[in-house]
Amino acid sequence: QQPVQSPQAVILREGEDAVINCSSSKALYSVHWYRQKHGEAPVFLMILLKGGEQKGHEKISASFNEKKQQSSLYLTASQLSYSGTYFCGTENMIKAAGNKLTFGGGTRVLVKP
Amino acid sequence: DVKVTQSSRYLVKRTGEKVFLECVQDMDHENMFWYRQDPGLGLRLIYFSYDVKMKEKGDIPEGYSVSREKKERFSLILESASTNQTSMYLCASSLAPPYEQYFGPGTRLTVT
C-alpha cells in the first residue's frame, strides 16, 4: 500500500515556508525524499533512517517519526528553484532483498515570485 | 556522475505488440528498478533486481516481465502491449541499501 502524502499541491510565495507530510500504514525502516521538476527525472534529496533523525539539504529539512510511521519535509524560506513535485518513498521494516521503495502520490509545489 | 540511460524518450506501439524498454547504468550498481508514473499515482514499482539474473516482483507486475543478463542492463518487456499500459516508464539504480536511487530520463510509451 502506497504511503499517503499531504497536501496534494501547495502554492507559495518566494520566502514562505511549507510542510509536506508522508504517512504509512506499515512500520518503516527508512524514508527517502525526491524532487521531480517538470519534464525531468526525480532527483534524490535525502534519506531518513529509523531513530527520528533529522536531515537537511540546502534549506530543505525533514524529520522521521517512526512511532507515528510518518515523515515530514520542511521547505524553509522557499526559492523559485524549489518548484516541482516531491515524492516520499518508504522502505518497510520487513524488507525484501534490495531496497525496495514504495512511493507516495506526490505533492506538487509551485513557488511564485 | 552516475548515469542511467533509457533506450527511447518517446515510443508509440500498437495493441498486441511486444515492447522492449532498455535501461543501462554506468556505476556498477547492484540494484535496478522499473517504475511507471501516472498522474496522481506517483511512482509505482513494476519489478526490481538486486543482482544479475535475480528479479523480484514489485507492486504492479501484471502484464510485464524483466530481464537482467548483465549487471549494467535491465530490460522491461511488455509481452502484448495494451492501451492501459500507456504511461511514463522510469528506470532507476542504486547501490546496496539504504542508498539513494538514481533515475533515468524516462520513456513515454503510448499504446494505440
Q: Which residues of chain B make contact with A91, given a CB cutoff of 8 A?
A: 97-98
Could you give the dihedral angle defined by the CA atoms of residues A84, A101, A73 and A3, in that order, rounded to the nearest 10 degrees?
A: 100
**Cα Rg for chain B, rounded, in angstroms?**
13
Residues in chain B, pLDDT under 50: none
Strand partners, A5: A22
Q: Which of A32, A98, A104 lies nearest to residue B42, judging by beta carbons? A: A104
The yes-or-no verdict on residue A93 having pLDDT over 80 is no
pLDDT of residue A1: 80
Express each pLDDT in B32-55 by its tens digit.
999 999 988 899 999 999 889 889
Q: Which of A100, A102, A107, A108 is the mutation pick for testing B, counting most B CBs within 10 A?
A: A100
Q: Which residues of chain B make contact with A2, given a CB cutoff of 8 A?
A: 41-42, 44
Give which of B94, B62, B15 is closest to A42, Cα–Cα.
B94
Q: Which residues of chain B make contact with A87, given a CB cutoff of 8 A?
A: 42-43
**DSSP state for residue B100 in the 8-state scheme:** P
Taking an 8 Å cut-off on Cβ atoms, the answer to whether A105 and B31 are in contact is no
Question: Is the backbone peptide bond immediately before A3 cis, with ω within 30 degrees of 0?
Answer: no
Tally helices (H) and strands (E) across chain B: 0, 11
Give which of A43, A6, A38, A11 is closest to A23, Cα–Cα.
A6
The yes-or-no verdict on residue A98 having pLDDT over 70 is no
